[in-house]
Amino acid sequence: MFDAFSQAVHDVPEVLECHMVAGGFDYLLKSRVADMAAYGQSMASSCPMSC
């Protein structure tokens, strides 16, 4: 599961940083997008775990 998530994060150009917060299931993603609409679109099209 981690490998799929890691690869998916690397494939999203908007994601600048990814930090494991706790327990291997909580992550903090730093991304750069134009606005909230672009953020929603980016997450909807690239989230491997159906966020």
Distance CA 33, CA 25 (A): 24
- Kindly give the confidence (pLDDT) of every residue in the chain, 51 residues in length, as a single tens digit, with 9 standing for 90 and above: 678 888 888 888 999 999 989 877 888 999 999 999 998 888 887 765 555
pTM above 0.85, yes or no: no
Write the class of the CATH domain 2-46: alpha beta
What pLDDT score does 23 carry?
79
- What are the residues facing 19 on neighbouring strands? 28
Tokens 């940083």 belong to which residue? 17
What pLDDT score does 50 carry?
52
18 three-class SS: strand
What pLDDT score does 11 carry?
87
